[in-house]
Amino acid sequence: MTVLNVNGQQHRIDVDPRTPLLYVLRNELKLNAAKFGCGLGQCGACTVLVDHEPVFSCILPISVLEGRYIRTVEGLGSEGRPGPVQSAFIEEQAAQCGYCIPGMMMRAQGLLEHNASPSDAQIRDAMAPNLCRCGTQMRILRAVRRAAKAMMADAGTIQETAK
């Protein structure tokens, strides 16, 4: 039995502890966002956050994740109430087939939690582990910049309110 904290909820998982997180998210927890792309840590379609760090869930056994904070796109927001990164991607229409986009959004979320206003070069470097075959890169970059601005503005609003 492995206990996982996913998007703030505790789950008791009864599968082989060597099973990579991706399969548990998708099949045991029925979370669709993280995708199988290569199973080799080369494409980033499976990217999720663990303790604020973007990681490849396809090569991370659940046994190493007890007591750690896992987040997926489902934790960023919902169709009715999308989070700032999701809103930015929707506003920029930053998807074609969309298969890689959840991984992109988690990679972007991880970046923005560490660096609230990254330069263009920093965004490109941070996003480098993730591949998009449809060629949506330009829109993804725009969406990450838009999300950064929105999150900064939100943070500003929160600060203002606090005053």
Partner 1 sequence: MVWRVLLTVVVVIGSAFGAFYAWAWNSEIPPTNAPATLFDPGIVAKGAQLAAVGNCGICHTQAGAKPYAGGFPVQTPFGTIYGTNITPDPDTGIGSWSETAFRRALHEGVDRTGNHLYPAFPYDHFTHATDSDIGALYAFLMTREPVAKANRAPAVPFPLNVRLFAAGWKLLFLHKGQIPPDASKSAEWNRGAYLAESLGHCGACHTPRNVLGGEKRDGQFAGGQSEGWLAPALNAASPAPVSWTAEQVYAYLRNGFAKQHGLAAGPMQPVVRNLKKASDADLRAIATYVASFAGLQNDADREQETQKALDFARSRDSKVPMPPSGAITTSTRADAKPGRTNNDSAAPSGAVIFVGACASCHHSGGELPVSRPIELGLSTPVNAPDPAALLRIVLDGIHPSSGERGPIMPGFSRALTDPQITALVSHVRSQFSRQPAWPNIAAALTKVRQNKEPATEAP
Partner 2 sequence: MNAMPPLTRRLLLTTGGALVVSFALLPKLAALAQNVPKLPGDLDKTPMLDSWIAIDAQGRITVFAGKAELGQGIKTALIQCAAEEIEVDPAGITLITADTERTPNEGYTAGSHSMQDCGTAILNAAAQVRGILIELAATRLNLPAEQLKATQGTVVANDGRSVRYGELLTGQDLHRPAQPTSPLKDPKNFVVIGKPMQRVDIPGKLTGKPAYVQDMRPNGMLQARVVRPPSYGARLTQLDAGAVESMPGVVKVVRDGSFLAVAAQGEFQAIDAMEALSALAKWEQGPVLPEQATIYDTIRQLPSNDSTILDKGTPGQQGAHTMRATYHRPYQLHGSIGPSCALAIFEADKLTVWTHSQGVYPLRNALADMLHMPQQQVHCIHVEGSGCYGHNAADDVAADAALIARALPGRPIRVQWMREDEHGWEPFGPAMISQAAASLDADGKLIDWQYDVWSNTHSTRPEGPAGNLLAARYLAQPFAQPAPKPIPQPEGGGDRNAIPIYTVPNARVISHFIPQMPLRVSALRALGAYHNVFSIESFMDELAHAAGADPVEFRLRHLDDSRAHDVVTMAAKEFGWQPDAKLPRGHGRGFAFARYKNLAAYCALALELEVEHETGAVKLGRIVVAVDSGQAVNHDGIRNQIEGAIVQSASWTLYEEVTFGRDGITSRDWSSFPMMRFPAAPESIEVHVIDRPGEKFLGTGEAGQGPAAAAIANAIADATGARLRELPLTAARIKAAIGI
SS3 assignment, position 47: strand
State in angstroms the smallest separation of the CB of 76 from partner 1: 19
Given phi > 0 = left and psi -120 to 50 = alpha, else beta, which region is 30?
Answer: left
Instruction: Give whichever of 58 and 161 is closer to partner 2, judged by the CB atom.
Output: 58
- Spatial distance between the Cα atoms of 142 and 59, rounded to a whole number of angstroms: 29
Q: Residue 71, exposed/middle/buried by CB under 10 A (0-12, 13-18, 19+)? A: buried
Instruction: Look at residue 53 and give the partner it binds from partner 2, partner 1, none, a contact being a CB closer than 5 to 8 Å depending on partner kind.
Output: partner 1
Instruction: Look at residue 47 and give the partner it binds from partner 1, partner 2, none, a contact being a CB closer than 5 to 8 Å depending on partner kind.
Output: none
Instruction: Give whichever of 3 and 134 is closer to partner 1, judged by the CB atom.
Output: 3
CA angle 11, 12, 14 (to 5 degrees): 135
State in angstroms the smallest separation of the CB of 42 from partner 1: 5
Among 8, 12, 14, 30, binds partner 2 (CB under 8 A): 30
State in angstroms the smallest separation of the CB of 153 from partner 2: 20
Our measurement of the distance from residue 1's CA atom to the centroid of its chain's CA atoms, rounded to an integer in Å, reads 25
Instruction: Give whichever of 60 and 105 is closer to partner 1, judged by the CB atom.
Output: 60
CA angle 6, 61, 22 (to 5 degrees): 55
Among 5, 77, 149, 150, binds partner 2 (CB under 8 A): 77
DSSP secondary structure of 107-144: HHHHHHHH-SS--HHHHHHHHTT---SS--HHHHHHHH
Q: Does 17 bind partner 2 (CB under 8 A)?
A: no
Among 35, 71, 145, 146, binds partner 2 (CB under 8 A): 35
Q: Does 109 bind partner 2 (CB under 8 A)?
A: no
